[in-house]
Amino acid sequence: MAEELTPETPDEAEEPIKQRKNGLYQGVSDELAENMKSGWADTELTGLAPIAQAAHTADRRAALSARFPGERLVIPAGNLKTRSNDTEYSFRASTEYAYLTGDQTHDGVLVLEPVKNGHEATIYLLPRSNRENGEFWLDGMGELWVGRRNSLAEAEQLLGIPAKDVRELPQALKDATGSVRAVRGHDAGIEAALTDKVTAERDEELRVYLSEARLIKDAFEVAELQKACDSTARGFEDVVKVLDKAEATSERYIEGTFFLRARVEGNDVGYGSICAAGPHACTLHWVRNDGAVRSGDLLLLDAGVETTELYTADVTRTLPINGRYTDIQRKIYDAVYEAQEAGIAAVKPGAAYRDFHDAAQRVLAEKLVEWGLVEGPAERVLELGLQRRWTLHGTGHMLGMDVHDCAAARTEAYVDTTLEPGMCLTVEPGLYFQADDLTVPEEYRGIGVRIEDDILVTEDGNRNLSDALPRRSDEVEAWMAGLKG
């Protein structure tokens, strides 16, 4: 059995912090340093209720423990990342860490320590700031600067996991013996402490496991995804209401409007919003969002609210900016709608994962043949993949904490698997006619349409989590008219 990790408690007698790196606090008098040590109320909280998903995170850790018996498992939250000079990007905890703990604190690390009959979990966190040595007001991570943290005892009550001081972890990991695996890519300091103890291959097995464990969502996760979709629907409504202001400015007005909803109701947007007006709809990852918004054009809006617990929606609607589709826009839109209907109908337990993609692509290929854009029959087009000049991307993907969720899952567990209740995926066919595509009549050029919904596999079929937003062209128009008043 591997030896237990027992970090030392921090040395209370360490030198007082007298100055910050940038020299801002040089010259702190002994009197002031002494003065700042005391006169602070004890704010320790007791009797805290566990977080809502505590029972679920415990189940997830138990499943992980059963998969890797006898091995120490290290799962970091990640660190702050510099944006420029001394400013940082807003922090988003690693999916693996948040999934297993429900915590989102930067620099946190979950360690599963092997013991007889399983593992003991410990969460390593930055504790409350020491007031005796000046840390709380002289250090950049001091609570005076960044706000009050949970004490280790408080974190333990909230998360249901024993908590220790993370500053002791690197040395404890270096000193420990026995088999260890870590999730890489989030915390360079932790990886450095493990460098001669882990192998890329074994760490990858841990990453793959944690990706595949998330293929089937538990009840908490399904509720979060529904929340994300409902907030997202409200964000789309917000956008429709300000399309005139976007016309007077740019696509940025749309991005900012949706972001407001995401920040107020959730944590953030789950990915960079694609606010693509006119021909920008044909650029799949259009996130510059600095273009003009013009009456008569379409707006392809692909955006998703990420909830406070880090589950994201991924929804696309392609809207007529002035509220009414032109004939050619409607023809293309209705074809994509038909393809999406066929795709959604193929989402059910026992179906092959690839079925919904095949069903949607078949409809699109048939339309392209019918419109004379490619020589048929549709079977030939599909066999040669000729429709892909205009369909461009796959018809969907798993959805969850990551927008492209479970990305490290093995082919046999994901694209070659059959659907099971609790899986959640997007169905998002599209047709894109580039502005410079000389192979299609001029009236098609510069039109891009995608319709994307978030579909939960249920016991007897599926449930569209994003059906608060209309999809059929006439229903979209009526919905927009209602919102614009």
Given the rule CB under 6 A, which residues bind ligand GLY? 271, 302, 314, 397, 403, 428, 452
Q: How far is the CB of 232 from ligand GLY (least distance, A)?
A: 12
Q: Which residue is nearest to ligand GLY (CB)?
A: 302
Binding of Mn ion by 273 (CB under 5 A): no
- For Mn ion, the closer of residues 104 and 395 by Cβ is 395
- For ligand GLY, the closer of residues 73 and 399 by Cβ is 399
The structure tokens 């959730």 sit at 266
Task: Name the binder of 405 from ligand GLY, Mn ion, none, CB < 5-8 A by kind.
Answer: none
Task: Name the binder of 107 from ligand GLY, Mn ion, none, CB < 5-8 A by kind.
Answer: none
Distance, in Å, from the CA atom of 364 to the CA atom of 383, rounded to the nearest integer, reads 13
Binding of Mn ion by 314 (CB under 5 A): yes
CA distances to 172, 367, 401, 472 from 309, in Å = 30, 41, 9, 31
Conformation bin of residue 27: beta by default, left when phi > 0, alpha when psi is -120 to 50 = left
Strands 82-84 and 87-88: antiparallel
- For ligand GLY, the closer of residues 28 and 403 by Cβ is 403
- For ligand GLY, the closer of residues 366 and 428 by Cβ is 428
Q: How far is the CB of 43 from Mn ion (least distance, A)?
A: 43
Binding of Mn ion by 306 (CB under 5 A): no
| Secondary structure of residue 427 in the 3-state scheme | strand
End-to-end Cα, the chain, rounded Å: 69
Distance, in Å, from the CA atom of 230 to the CA atom of 318, rounded to the nearest integer, reads 18
DSSP H helical ranges for 215-354: 219-241, 243-248, 251-265, 327-345
- For ligand GLY, the closer of residues 103 and 314 by Cβ is 314
- For ligand GLY, the closer of residues 224 and 428 by Cβ is 428
Q: How far is the CB of 402 from ligand GLY (least distance, A)?
A: 11
Task: Name the binder of 221 from Mn ion, ligand GLY, none, CB < 5-8 A by kind.
Answer: none
Q: How far is the CB of 302 from ligand GLY (least distance, A)?
A: 5
> Which residue stretch of 185-193, 290-298, 305-313, 421-429 sits at the interface with Mn ion (rule: CB under 5 A)?
421-429
Distance, in Å, from the CA atom of 30 to the CA atom of 247, rounded to the nearest integer, reads 60
- For ligand GLY, the closer of residues 357 and 397 by Cβ is 397
Are the CB atoms for 173 and 194 separated by under 8 Å? yes
- For ligand GLY, the closer of residues 57 and 316 by Cβ is 316
Distance, in Å, from the CA atom of 304 to the CA atom of 316, rounded to the nearest integer, reads 9
Task: Name the binder of 271 from Mn ion, ligand GLY, none, CB < 5-8 A by kind.
Answer: ligand GLY
62: tokens are 């138990």
How many CA atoms are closer than 13 Å to the CA of 181, on its beta-carbon side? 22
Strands 274-277 and 424-427: unpaired
- For ligand GLY, the closer of residues 178 and 394 by Cβ is 394
- By CB under 5 A, the residues from 438 to 467 that bind Mn ion are 452
| Secondary structure of residue 228 in the 3-state scheme | helix
| Secondary structure of residue 73 in the 3-state scheme | strand
Are the CB atoms for 315 and 258 separated by under 8 Å? no
Q: How far is the CB of 306 from ligand GLY (least distance, A)?
A: 12
Q: How far is the CB of 452 from Mn ion (least distance, A)?
A: 5
Q: How far is the CB of 296 from Mn ion (least distance, A)?
A: 24
Q: Which of 122, 426, 462, 473 binds Mn ion (CB under 5 A)?
A: 426
Give the contacts of 354 (CB within 8 A, at least 6 positions apart). Answer: 415, 416
Are the CB atoms for 463 and 223 separated by under 8 Å? no
Site size for Mn ion, by CB under 5 A? 4
> Which residue stretch of 74-82, 119-127, 172-180, 297-305 sits at the interface with Mn ion (rule: CB under 5 A)?
297-305
Give the contacts of 423 (CB within 8 A, at least 6 positions apart). Answer: 215, 216, 217, 398, 456, 457
Task: Name the binder of 25 from ligand GLY, Mn ion, none, CB < 5-8 A by kind.
Answer: none
Binding of Mn ion by 302 (CB under 5 A): yes
Query: Pick from 329, 319, 305, 324: which is nearest to 251 by CA?
Result: 319
Binding of Mn ion by 391 (CB under 5 A): no
Site of interaction with Mn ion (CB under 5 A): 302, 314, 426, 452
